[in-house]
Amino acid sequence: MAKFHKQLIKAMELKGITQKELCKKTNIPKSAMSQYMSGKFKPKQKRTYLLAKALDVNEAWLMGFDNVSMERENKEEDQAIPLPQTNVFMRPVYDSISAGFGVIAQDVPVDYMPTYITCPSEQDKYIWINVHGDSMSPLIDDGSKILVKKQSSVDSGQIAAVLVDDEEAVVKKVLYNDNTVELHSVNPYYPPRVFKNNDVTRVQILGLVKEVSKSLQ
């Protein structure tokens, strides 16, 4: 993954834009631009978008992500409604729930995905998880990705990332009854897991499943 300031300088050189011109195009103060170019600070999402637009480069490329084209994918987006663009953030993708929530030592993202988040201040609470297995099929198929918002509780009937016995992380539909927590699979082949009385403490909610991304192939 390349460093932001190196990508910024490279884009400025390729496009033939000076620091003064870039400041004028983006309304970013010269002092802030100098810090971005020196690598002392990285701009926030809004300014990253303004810089990418002014330089006519892909925002993800400017941020330094690997295997991303420098060219902007859709220049017509400048005429579109700006709301989605201003709320799109690159969120990490983990290869298992355990990794994504730090249950195992290997807590390293395998990829990043652009993600629309309604409340920008909560962007750090969202992660993507690669799903392995068919216990939640056909709602969540093997090979799908799920967007999870980290939170410690969900309503009865919602689908959540759940930790059992501090070591087993799963995705299940959570049902609450009197002194009972039930974890249900969508696939009827898998029986529900029921925790009663003191055993309910074995179940810990890690986050709420907000979105499912399925491959068409």
Measure the CA angle with vertex 107, ends 146 and 5; round to 5°. 90
pLDDT at 83: 40
Distances (CA, A) of 57 to 48, 63, 118: 11, 10, 25
Q: Is the pTM of this model over 0.85?
A: no
Count other Cβ atoms within 10 Å, centred on residue 126: 21
Residue type, 3: K
The CATH number assigned to the domain holding 9 equals 1.10.260.40
Distances (CA, A) of 148 to 19, 65, 79, 170: 39, 22, 31, 12
Residues 158 and 199 in one domain: yes
Residues 194 and 112 in one domain: yes
Residues 66 and 107 in one domain: no
> Which of 63, 85, 107 is the last residue before a domain boundary?
85
Parallel, antiparallel, or unpaired: how do β-strands 88-94 and 126-130 relate?
A: parallel
Residues 50 and 93 in one domain: no
Place of tokens 């003191």: 198
Range of the domain at 97: 89-213
Give the span between the Cα atoms of 15 and 12, in whole angstroms: 5
> Which of 39, 64, 85 is the last residue before a domain boundary?
85
* Per-residue pLDDT tens over the stretch 47-74: 888 898 899 888 888 888 766 778 765 5
* Helix 4-15, helix 30-38: angle, nearest 10: 110
pLDDT at 22: 93
Residues 191 and 127 in one domain: yes
pLDDT at 105: 57
> Which of 68, 85, 102 is the last residue before a domain boundary?
85
Smallest CA-to-CA distance from 185 within 143, 136, 140 is with 136
Residues 51 and 18 in one domain: yes
Residues 38 and 142 in one domain: no
pLDDT at 80: 38
Split into its structural domains, the chain has a count of: 2
pLDDT at 59: 84
Residues 79 and 96 in one domain: no
The CATH number assigned to the domain holding 134 equals 2.10.109.10
Residues 135 and 164 in one domain: yes
Give the span between the Cα atoms of 23 and 45, in whole angstroms: 16
Smallest CA-to-CA distance from 172 within 63, 181, 180 is with 181
Residues in the chain with pLDDT < 50? 75-84, 217
pLDDT at 96: 86
- Residues whose CB falls within 8 Å of the CB of residue 114, separated by 6 or more in sequence, listed in order: 60, 88, 89, 90, 91
Residues 98 and 65 in one domain: no
